[in-house]
Amino acid sequence: MRPVYLDNNATTRVDPDVVQAMLPFFTDHFGNPSSIHAFGASVGAAVKTARRQLQALIGAEFDHEVVFTSGGTESDNAAILSALEVMPDRTEIVTSAVEHPAVLSLCADLEKRRGITVHRIPVDRHGRLDLEAYRAALSSRVAIVSIMWANNETGTIFPVAELAELAKEAGALFHTDAVQAVGKLPIDLRSTAIDMLSLSGHKLHAPKGIGALYVKRGVRFRSQIKGGHQERARRAGTENTPGIVGLGKAAELAMKFMDDENTRVKTLRDRLEKGLLQAIPNAFVTGDPRERLPNTANIAFEYIEGEGMLLLLNREGIACSSGSACTSGSLEPSHVLRAMDIPYTAAHGAIRFSFSRDNCEDDVDRVLEVMPGIVEKLRELSPFWAGVGEAPKTFNPVYA
């Protein structure tokens, strides 16, 4: 049976057209774009094309606002570290409690090793940012605000354009981790006050290990990687030319499929959610019901643990992921679900299904076919499950 891949927020399949576009850059066009000779020149032109394709996808005003990097993590690190360097008299960072570890681990490290003050803005039960806390955290001490465009676990979208305006009033730089938003939502940076934006190739059908950081013209920037003058001295190191060409092609395709993502793919997602909630009691969708990525469904099933569901789904050829503690090797459920105050009865049993243009109706059917049985099997094993509409069974541990 055809495997069902519903873990596109983790990574996507490289589009065959992207692969085709890249191939000549391993062999025929292997030159170094910095070289003067013909081998270099043709590659230099291809890099420029890719830059323009990306510029178009994110609505940047100038193509040179796009800096190619090795991916989302590097872009996030580069943006935040640069901001602290260009604003030495500001020692605070504002971010959210639900960022990707690419931002949160860096902030924790800066807090510990450099004495930077980090404000982690909380979210409500639907994952919506606490705007009052956000306003309160802004001050002339803040060097940079880094708030994600869309959350990788729940798909919740933050109002980054507004947040950027507020940051600007405080004189802080505004960076957004848009790794999950680019390619899924129309983006027009030119009309916003966003100073920097991170994106990653492998979330939009380009390869892993290639990404970009958008740096608005006029924003001061210090490269963290020292070396040659590539990328206008904003990112040293000989360019990953096949990756860049691939990312450019993927950007072009993403524009072409933007409608599909927001109509057909969204319908698939909605049908899955509705179907699961109809067939399975004690389950609910997490995240902002209104402002949400069209491809992401995060559903919490009460009284059971996520890993068991993933193992049983995997046996049926279905791939998705979980915010449960067990699957990550940590002992606590995902920081995103915890920040949302999702009760422990459900946080351990949250499953993320994330779609892409590669998915079809059959995929939804397959999940709808097997998921109720899987949940039922695990609930029968659970000492807490007392049946539909019943309060959980009492459990008297000698220790907890």
Ligand X SMILES: Cc1ncc(COP(=O)(O)O)c(C=O)c1O
> Residues with catalytic annotation?
326
E strand spans, the chain: 4-5, 66-69, 92-96, 117-121, 142-146, 173-177, 196-200, 211-215, 283-285, 296-301, 318-319, 321-322, 350-354
Instruction: Report the C-alpha gap between 313 and 301 in whole angstroms.
Output: 14
CB 146 within 8 A of CB 166: no
Which does residue 132 touch among another protein, ligand X, none (CB within 5 to 8 A, set by kind)? none
**Residue numbers 355-384 binding ligand X by CB under 6 A:** none
97 part of the interface to another protein, by CB under 8 A: yes
Instruction: Report the C-alpha gap between 223 and 244 in whole angstroms.
Output: 19
Assigned token pair, 130:
């606490």
Which does residue 331 touch among ligand X, another protein, none (CB within 5 to 8 A, set by kind)? another protein
Instruction: Report the C-alpha gap between 325 and 315 in whole angstroms.
Output: 20
Which does residue 395 touch among ligand X, another protein, none (CB within 5 to 8 A, set by kind)? another protein
Give me the half-sphere count of Cα atoms (radius 13 Å) on the Cβ side of residue 391: 2
**For helices 361-381 and 266-279, what crossing angle results, to 10°?**
30
Query: Nearest approach, Cβ of 50 to another protein (angstroms)?
Result: 34
**Nearby residues of 317 by Cβ (< 8 Å), 6 or more positions away:** 1, 2, 3, 4, 366
**Residue numbers 112-151 binding ligand X by CB under 6 A:** 148
Which does residue 71 touch among another protein, ligand X, none (CB within 5 to 8 A, set by kind)? ligand X
The contact mask relative to ligand X for 52-71 (x = CB under 6 A, - = no) is -------------------x
Instruction: Report the C-alpha gap between 158 and 160 in whole angstroms.
Output: 6
338 part of the interface to another protein, by CB under 8 A: yes
Stretch that binds another protein, among 74-82, 238-246, 306-314, 366-374 (CB under 8 A): 306-314
Query: Nearest approach, Cβ of 295 to ligand X (angstroms)?
Result: 13
Which does residue 179 touch among ligand X, another protein, none (CB within 5 to 8 A, set by kind)? ligand X
**Residue with Cβ nearer another protein (178 or 310):** 310
Instruction: Report the C-alpha gap between 400 and 394 in whole angstroms.
Output: 13
**Residue with Cβ nearer another protein (102 or 265):** 102
Which does residue 167 touch among ligand X, another protein, none (CB within 5 to 8 A, set by kind)? none
Task: Supply the DSSP string of 235-264, one letter for each residue.
Answer: S-S---HHHHHHHHHHHHHHHHHHHHIIII
Assigned token pair, 383:
């000492």
Among 96, 152, 156, 322, binds ligand X (CB under 6 A): 152
Among 101, 186, 227, 387, binds another protein (CB under 8 A): 101
Q: Which residues bind another protein (CB under 8 A)?
A: 91, 97-98, 101, 104-105, 107-109, 111-115, 120, 122, 303-308, 310-312, 314-315, 324-327, 329-333, 335, 338-339, 341, 343-345, 348, 380-384, 392, 394-400
Q: Which residues bind ligand X (CB under 6 A)?
A: 71-73, 100, 102, 148, 152, 177, 179-180, 200, 202, 211
